Structure 1
Amino acid sequence: MFIATTVTADLNADKQALLSFAVAVPHGRKLNWSSDTPICSLWVGIRCSPDHSRVIGLRLPAVGLLGPIPANTLGKLDALQVLMIRSNGLNANIPPDVLALPSLRSLFLQHNNLSGEIPNLITPSLAFFDLSYNSFTGEIPLEVKNLTQLTALYLQNNSLSGPIPDLKLPKLKRLNLSFNNLSGTIPLSLQKFPKESFLGNSLLCGQPLKQCPGIPSPSPLPSQPYHKKSFWKRSSSKIIIGVAVGGFAVILLVIVVLLLCILRRKGREDRESSTKGKGTAGSRSEKSKEEYSSGVQESEKNKLVFFEGCSYNFDLEDLLRASAECFSAAWFSS
């Protein structure tokens, strides 16, 4: 009974705070907020927790809200996580209790006519912070450095002035401070963002914008070894592959040339041996012919010729005897 009463009291407190806001702020389109209807199921732009114990979301974009945000209205929604009242006609200052809501994670107040300085009391749970396209003045609060959960900061198209705090926020991914009156040097922690995040601030300098006057430009020499190192690191494997392929091609070419030379030399030797064989055979045949013919001629010389009509027959002994007699006769006659 006590728990149910406490939950109802908290929800009723949220309901009364929203009704006070609707009464104090004129709006072009009538909201269907009423004390007689269930807030979690029928009210426009309201989102409750799963157990319907608290209001955790308020989304009223472009509903024609006019005038300032009254204090002690939205600032009483201490369970509120998302507040979206963008693209309306809200003006004047933001009540400090709105930015100090302990559970607030996303704040969308862009495209209004809010002015004055941004309150210093900002809940550390804030992750999305958008005050762009308003008329805020003064400096960016130093308390922004304490928003360790912040992922997006949009303050463009205002009239903010002074230096930019050194926002060393580990989760910050999106930043836009363009078209203000900011001055000085862009902090080192924010130089990673593109120049579009800082355009329209004529007194702002430093990376990624123009170099600040009186500060020497960094020498490009230290960056050269890094580029060379990265170049060789990227190209070393390609160079090794190219050298290996080129060396293999040269070795293959040398082998082919050697094979061609050997084959050519062998072919020449075969032709020469064939020619010598033919010449030897021819000379041998010619020589045999000459020897044969000369033998025939010698035999023809030593052959006795008998004339026709001679009837003498001589044998070897007759010839030898005749030769001896002729020799003896010749001796004695001398």
Structure 2
Amino acid sequence: MAAFTYYIAAILLILLPAVTFSDIASDRAALLALRSAVGGRSNLWNISEPNICVWAGVACSRDHSTVVELHLPGVGLSGVVPPNTIANLTNLQTLSLRYNALVSPLPSDLGKLTNLRNLYLQHNLFNESIPDFLFSFINLVRLNLAMNSFSGPITTSFNNLTRLGTLYLEENQLSGPLPDLNIPGLVQFNVSNNNLTGPIPKAIAVKNPKSAFVGTSLCGQPLNDLCDNGVGHDGGKKKKKKLSGGAIAGIVIGCVVGVLLILLLLLCLCKKRGNKNAAPVASKSVEAGVKETAVEIPREKSVESVERDGLGGGFAAIGAKMKDKEKVEGGNVGGKSLVFFGKTPKAFDLDDLLKASAEVLGKGTFGTAYKAGLETGITVAVKRLRDVVVSEKEFREKMDGIGKMDHANLVPLLAYYYNREEKLLVYEYMPMGSLSALLHGNKGSSRTPLNWETRANIALGAARGITYLHSQGSSHGNVKASNILLTTTYQARVSDFGLAPLVSPTPTPNRVAGYRAPEVTDARKVSQKADVYSFGVLLLELLTGRAPTHALANEEGVDLPRWVQSVVREEWTNEVFDLELLRYQNVEEDMVQLLQLGIDCTDNYPDKRPSMPEVTEKIEELCRTFNSQDSTGIMEDA
């Protein structure tokens, strides 16, 4: 018996290395089978390379004995995932097949992946009911099935997934009622744009925004719709009341009287207007040196209403208002009213500016920006400040300081105009617009993707501009993507610097709050360390393609730094990056380094954040690395 036991032990010892080897060999075979079945850019795997752990999208355990992550987002996979492929990656913890063209059915043997923690199948062509094997993934933390055609009900079987923190099911064809999901850690949830009906369970309603349920026939809070079955927001029965005949008669009489009163009021107003001469119009301001406009603007309209109504062909209304003010206070609207800086050629004066055609570029924190095309052919950007709270002396001193700022990565302030009613800043015009518009503006097929090199160079240019401001003893105070403007060669230039102390604090919109350091309580007093925080958010925005907050109605803001940190903690870093960046090879390490720099910059404690010179130095090192490697080639679609 002892001899037999010894014999078995000896065999096991001999076979143990082979067992370890067979794990990785089995994983290799599974990946090759998947490659031949669904194609896509997985065909670019170098199968002559024996180490599959260096294949794109494949991550192995530390000892390289088994595959633990498979990331193939947006790589052109199509068709059906066959059995005995992915399911044979038995130690898989993260599977990402999002943004492909995979179709049903999903193989049932995927249920063997008992270690799976993160599953991303969004934006494919699956059209079956939600597979039962998903409910056996007891370790699953994140599940995203959005933007497919999954049908059938959402069942209470999801309650089996007790560790689930994210469940995205939006934009499918799921039907029936929404069950009461009792998953304690579920913090991200969305079932919008499905065929769901009935009341929203209270436990789900209180933890999720309205956007998680829109586009369905669900009712109750937070949709503010009472359910047809008489169940109100609080689950109580609505009391149905019938109107009496007297009540109905009273309503009808009240409506008739109300209509008569409105008609009488309109008649009086029309008669009063007919007895008056037409009010002077803004086009009468030609004598003030302002170009006549094709649209007549009633003098009683404020400049703000002119902006809102879209009237006027330029700055005529502003000029008319300024002229009226000058007549009351004395003085004139002359060419010397514009104050120019440094070596800026005085190729135009205030009259020329007010005659210019104007196009609204955007409304920001400090005022409205216009593109002004002068008759001489010069194009400038004009910012019309609002809510300026400092004295004229303080304003001019601050403008002098801003005008002296001279750096290749700053938008130059060319000139300014000041009176009590109007404060205009004239900047060099940046034809490519803002980084925010470039990242989030055009999501259609005509969009030009921003490659890794371009994004890194934009980050470097912005960092250099802010570092220069800090070297001058100043801080920016409003670092955000819409204040990073671009030249025709995509060189970054920082705008709106130095304006924060001039204006009164206003309620902070989401798009600004997303960049603001947690210690900032007064928007007019922003430290250099707070600038570092805002720049860190900007880095994360560049890498993820996500805005730091949702500016859309009915959507809650996303705390981008906290979201990125939660992703990195779960060791699924690749899921952070913008899909457009995943098209580029051999830059993952540089991307992760820049991501870590963004995380360091957004530390909650100011003392733990690096300085802007340190940030700039690290980005310069990264840019030197990829420029020397020339690693910006695009992976072609298979």
Task: Tell whether the structures are fold-level matches, with TM greater than 0.5.
Answer: yes
Aligned length in residues? 218
Task: Kindly provide the amino acid, as one letter, of the partner of residue 160 in structure 2.
Answer: N
Among 194, 203, 211, the alignment partner of 1:180 is: 194
- For the pair 1:65 / 2:87, whether they are aligned, the reply is no
Task: Kindly provide the amino acid, as one letter, of the partner of residue 23 in structure 1.
Answer: S
Q: Report Cα offsets for 1:106-147 as digits up to 9, x if no partner.
A: 011111111111111221111000010111111123321111
| Matches of 2:27 and 2:195, distance apart in 1 | 39
Task: Kindly provide the amino acid, as one letter, of the partner of residue 91 in structure 2.
Answer: A
What is the correspondence of 1:224-263 to structure 2 with a 5 Å cutoff? none
Report what 1:151 is aligned to.
165
Q: Report Cα offsets for 1:275-325 as digits up to 9, x if no partner.
A: xxxxxxxxxxxxxxxxxxxxxxxxxxxxxxxxxxxxxxxxxxxxxxxxxxx
Using the size of structure 2 for normalisation, the TM-score is: 0.33
Report what 1:88 is aligned to.
100
| Matches of 1:142 and 1:21, distance apart in 2 | 32
Q: CA deviation at 1:55?
A: 0.4
Query: Is the 8 Å Cα contact of residues 35 and 43 (structure 2) preserved in structure 1?
Result: no
Unaligned runs of at least 5 residues, structure 2: 1-13, 237-638
| Matches of 1:150 and 1:119, distance apart in 2 | 17
Report what 1:201 is aligned to.
216
- For the pair 1:5 / 2:18, whether they are aligned, the reply is yes
Report what 1:114 is aligned to.
126
| RMSD over aligned Cα atoms | 1.9
Report what 1:273 is aligned to.
none
- Larger Rg computed on CA atoms: 1
- For the pair 1:215 / 2:231, whether they are aligned, the reply is yes
Q: CA deviation at 1:88?
A: 1.0
Bigger Cα displacement from structure 2, 2-11 vs 80-89: 2-11
Task: Kindly provide the amino acid, as one letter, of the partner of residue 68 in structure 1.
Answer: V
Q: Report Cα offsets for 1:6-61 as digits up to 9, x if no partner.
A: 11011111111111111111215632142652112x31211000111110000111
Q: Report Cα offsets for 1:53-98 as digits up to 9, x if no partner.
A: 1100001111111111112211111100000111111112222222
Query: Is the 8 Å Cα contact of residues 99 and 119 (structure 1) preserved in structure 2?
Result: no
Q: Report Cα offsets for 1:189-208 as digits up to 9, x if no partner.
A: 20111111111012x11221
What is the correspondence of 1:255-274 to structure 2 with a 5 Å cutoff? none
Unaligned runs of at least 5 residues, structure 1: 221-334
Query: Is the 8 Å Cα contact of residues 69 and 95 (structure 1) preserved in structure 2?
Result: yes
What is the correspondence of 1:247-326 to structure 2 with a 5 Å cutoff? none
Q: Secondary structure at the match of 1:79?
A: coil
Q: CA deviation at 1:99?
A: 4.8
- Structure 1 ranges of 4+ moved more than 3 A: 216-220
Query: Is the 8 Å Cα contact of residues 175 and 196 (structure 2) preserved in structure 1?
Result: yes
Q: Secondary structure at the match of 1:200?
A: coil
| Matches of 2:87 and 2:66, distance apart in 1 | 14
Q: Report Cα offsets for 1:194-245 as digits up to 9, x if no partner.
A: 111111012x11221212121256599xxxxxxxxxxxxxxxxxxxxxxxxx
Task: Kindly provide the amino acid, as one letter, of the partner of residue 60 in structure 2.
Answer: C
| Matches of 1:217 and 1:185, distance apart in 2 | 9
Query: Is the 8 Å Cα contact of residues 143 and 166 (structure 2) preserved in structure 1?
Result: yes
Using the size of structure 1 for normalisation, the TM-score is: 0.62
Q: CA deviation at 1:188?
A: 2.0
Q: Secondary structure at the match of 2:22?
A: helix
Task: Kindly provide the amino acid, as one letter, of the partner of residue 160 in structure 1.
Answer: L
